[in-house]
Structure 1
Amino acid sequence: MDLKINGLDDLDIQILEILIRDSRTPYLEIARKCHVSGGTIHVRMKKMEDMGIIRGTKLILDNSKLGYDVCCFIGIYLDKAASYVSVLSELEKISEVVELHYTTGEYSVFMKVICKSIGDLQNLLMNKIQAIPEIQRTDTLISLSQPIERNVQL
């Protein structure tokens, strides 16, 4: 992948590679590994944030240890493509929806949901998602495990 066309140079890529391995790496340690000053790392990080390449940081939780044992993917069939904006507005209000994609192919929308139990999933489907008038029907896939989770490799 040639990231230089996106305004990044070798130092930027080296910084990103370090952070992909461990996002909690202190700036001074990154500077030491890259043989530059801590100020340079701050400037480069700010540049990549301003460019939208780095969109922030997040805490990654083990949902099952918090009592959320059911992870599902739900494909949604809309009555028509023009319904997407209003359906998105309704789905944003549902806290169990943790990821949503507007897609090509069989489904108009594909989303990831996290629930505490199968009973909670059933309630979510019947009383929240399928209650949205523009949704024709849904297909639900329950995740049994997630053996791979990673960022893109540079």
Structure 2
Amino acid sequence: MAKNYEIDNVDLKILTELMKDAKVPYTEIAKKVYVSGGTVHVRMKKLEEMGVVTGTTLSMDYSKLGYDVTCFLGIFLLKSSLYEAVVEKLKKIPEVVKIHYTTGNYNIFIKIHCRDTKHLKDVLHDKIQKVEGIERTETFISLEESLNRHIQLDV
């Protein structure tokens, strides 16, 4: 692929359709965007090579699987230079689903899912707070997620 490939309106329309439902076959997207299925396939391959599309994900309601507590944790590190080592250890904790390097009060901000508050306490005490390099954490329990969406692309 040419390094100077530029994203155009066709690419944006394809992405917009996939953001609505990533399971839609390329042939259906092609009909909506008025191109061939092959064009959609080639465009998606280029978008993947560029790193614009990094994969597909499954959207789930964890509460229906018994994970009723969603939390965000602000993590204070002993030293900023420990960031990479701490992240590698956090990645090994199954309940951790998102990790962000942030500005502001916290060095790291993470999202975790737990079955209940006892499970949360165990994850905090036995896993996260035992990671070498973490000075302390601040926990925020989510009471409800009111919005989870992609940004709207300018098409």
- Normalising by the smaller structure, the TM-score range is over 0.9
Distance (whole Å) between structure 2 residues aligned to residue 6 and residue 39 of structure 1 = 18
Asked whether 1:93 is paired with 2:92, we answer: yes
**Aligned AA (1:78):** L
Q: Report the Cα offset of residue 91 of structure 1.
A: 0.7
The aligned residue for residue 47 of structure 1 is: 46
Structure 1 spans left out of the alignment, 5+ residues: none
Deviations 1:103-141 (A, max 9, x none): 110000000000011001001111111112311110000
The aligned residue for residue 119 of structure 1 is: 118
The aligned residue for residue 77 of structure 2 is: 78
SS in 1 for 2:73: strand
Q: Report the Cα offset of residue 14 of structure 1.
A: 1.1
Q: 1:6 to 1:84 in 2, by over 3 A?
A: farther
The aligned residue for residue 109 of structure 1 is: 108
Of residues 130-139 and 112-121 in structure 1, the stretch that sits farther from structure 2 once superposed is 130-139
SS in 2 for 1:14: helix
The aligned residue for residue 141 of structure 2 is: 142
TM score, norm. by length of structure 1: 0.93
**Aligned AA (1:145):** E
The aligned residue for residue 10 of structure 1 is: 9
SS in 2 for 1:41: helix
Q: 1:71 to 1:40 in 2, by over 3 A?
A: same
SS in 1 for 2:130: coil
Deviations 1:46-96 (A, max 9, x none): 111111111111111210010000000000000010111111121111000
TM score, norm. by length of structure 2: 0.92
The aligned residue for residue 129 of structure 2 is: 130
The aligned residue for residue 36 of structure 2 is: 37
Distance (whole Å) between structure 2 residues aligned to residue 35 and residue 92 of structure 1 = 42
The aligned residue for residue 68 of structure 2 is: 69
Identity of counterpart residues, as a percentage?
50
Which ranges of 4 or more aligned residues in structure 1 deviate by more than 6 Å?
Answer: none
Q: CA RMSD in A?
A: 1.3
SS in 2 for 1:130: helix
Q: Report the Cα offset of residue 6 of structure 1.
A: 7.4
Distance (whole Å) between structure 2 residues aligned to residue 24 and residue 55 of structure 1 = 15
Distance (whole Å) between structure 2 residues aligned to residue 93 and residue 80 of structure 1 = 21
